[in-house]
Chain A
């Protein structure tokens, strides 16, 4: 079974600064997907970024980027130029291909607060 660990329950950073959220996972699979989801106070789960394990290049989406280290089973999220709207719970998630029954395994989340 896969496990996802987020070791930082809470973090805070000043607006406009850069912050990195950590995530490690454990799996014996070689082909899989990793995600970061954001859950703001509205509780809507929003996809932030997606990484395919077979791709060596780190995924980026505007101010969001990941540092994917497959051998170390590490998948950290970097938020640059942080904004007040980035305040949210952030969940790291693992998914392996399973013919349409692709379940997500979530970490316990990191509560990020952006300070004005």
Chain B
């Protein structure tokens, strides 16, 4: 149980284009999902908290107009990197919060490697 999928696993795009990444909780409902960015050999950096049916909460320094987040259902959150540039190249990971007695845990998707040419 507690499986989170993420699609695509890898994407290469041209500078100036937009890229959408999907995060799905497959066997549980998640009112809250999180989006992280990870640089090589570094820890995860929280970008934003996504709540179903409401606007996302962005961490300080994260451009909300560049990284659009939509959490339209209890099992799906999307991250759209708009007008991507080479500096946006990174590994993006989502997680879904599984609430409940003896669970209360974030489960992670497999990540998306974004390369902007």
Contacts and interface: CB of A to CB of B under 8 A. Distances in A.
B25 interface: no
B105 interface: yes
Contacts of B106: 95, 102, 104
Tell me the dominant secondary structure on chain B's binding face. strand
Contacts of B57: 101
Nearest to A9: B41
- Size range of the chain B interface in the assembly: 20 to 34
B44 A101 contact: no
How many chain A residues sit at the interface, stated as a range, is 20 to 34
A47 B106 CA distance: 9
Contacts of B26: none
A106 B110 CA distance: 18
Contacts of B38: 43
B77 to A, nearest CB: 14
Interface stretch (B16-24, B81-89, B90-98): B90-98
Contacts of B49: 101, 103
A3 B38 CA distance: 18
Contacts of B99: 100
Contacts of B78: none
B97 A100 contact: yes
Given A91-B43, A108-B43, A102 B108 contact: no
Interface in B36-92: 38, 42-44, 46, 49, 51, 57, 91
Contact of A43 (B34, B105, B111): B111
A44 interface: yes
B110 A42 contact: yes
Interface of A: 33, 35, 37, 42-47, 50, 91, 95, 97, 100-104, 106-109
15 contacts: A33-B104, A37-B108, A43-B93, A44-B111, A45-B108, A50-B105, A91-B44, A95-B106, A101-B51, A102-B32, A102-B97, A103-B46, A106-B43, A109-B42, A109-B43
